[in-house]
Structure 1
Amino acid sequence: MSLETKLKAALATLEDYKAQQISVIPLAGKATFADYMIVVSGTSTTHTRSIAQGLEKHLKSEVFSIEGQQESSWICVDLSQIIVHIFLPEKRALYNLEKLWSHTFIL
């Protein structure tokens, strides 16, 4: 699957699973670990787990690993070239990845 196809599929899945405040941060040329970072919020730990499981279900051949499902306040889904961070709102505000990566252009 091409990078652009994978990005579109990930975003469509996030929308289907009602992820909130979706931010796409391009990392190409700025980081070596991924080309894109996607940051989203869920409304509860059940919702964050559901979003992660949706990505795993719809992009199963692309999922490298999933971390944080036990606690579920911050789940990280590694899609190889795309890293998806799924937060509860309070954890998202605490870590504020968008500000941390503000030197990049956020889509």
Structure 2
Amino acid sequence: MRLIVTSLEDDKAEEVVVIDLAGKAAFADRMVVASGLAGRQLTAMAEHLIEKLERDGRRNIRTEGLGASDWVLIDAGDVVVHLFRPEARAQYALEKMWGVTLPGDEARFG
């Protein structure tokens, strides 16, 4: 987790949130959600993270949306990373779905 969070923070990701899914979901033990301000930033964050995970020995990393403008998914096995532009992140509200409340969410989600 430290490698993932550090990589995202180094690339200026905003509102990095780690959600513990152990015992709640079969597809992963943890989910990381973060925001980037532009599609190019999301792509760069994803590419840098994938490189670091591969150097760390992770194999079979799958991605969806790489090069798209709003959302990139990185499936690293026991950890799934969602990188969003702020508007898409608010629309999908993954944190809310998994019961995580962020500062300011009360006003945003009512």
TM-score band by shorter chain is 0.7 to 0.9
Give the TM-score normalised by the residue count of structure 1.
0.86
Map of 1:87-106 to 2, 5 A cutoff?
A: 87-102=84-99
Is residue 39–residue 67 contact of structure 2 (8 Å, CA) maintained in 1? no
1:76 pairs, out of 73, 81, 88, with 73
Paired position in structure 1 for 2:106: none
Residue identity matched to 2:28: A
Gaps of 5+ in 1: 1-6
Write out the 4+ residue segments of structure 1 that deviate beyond 2 Å after TM superposition. Answer: none
Counterparts of residues 19-98 of structure 1 (less than 5 Å)? 19-60=13-54, 61-62=57-58, 64-98=61-95
Q: Aligned with 1:86: secondary structure?
A: strand
Gaps of 5+ in 2: 103-110
CA distance in 2, matches of 1:90, 1:16: 22
Distance, in Å, in 2 between the alignment partners of 1:70 and 1:18 is: 18
What number of residue pairs does the alignment pair up?
99
Alpha-carbon deviation of 1:69?
Answer: 1.1
**Aligned counterparts of 1:19 and 1:49: Cα–Cα separation in 2:** 12
Q: Is the 8 A contact 1:68 1:74 kept in 2?
A: yes
**For residues 80 and 105 of structure 1, do their structure 2 counterparts lie closer, same or farther at Cα, with a shift above 3 Å needed?**
farther
Relative to the length of structure 2, the TM-score reads 0.84
In 1, Cα distance between equivalents of 2:98 and 2:58 = 24
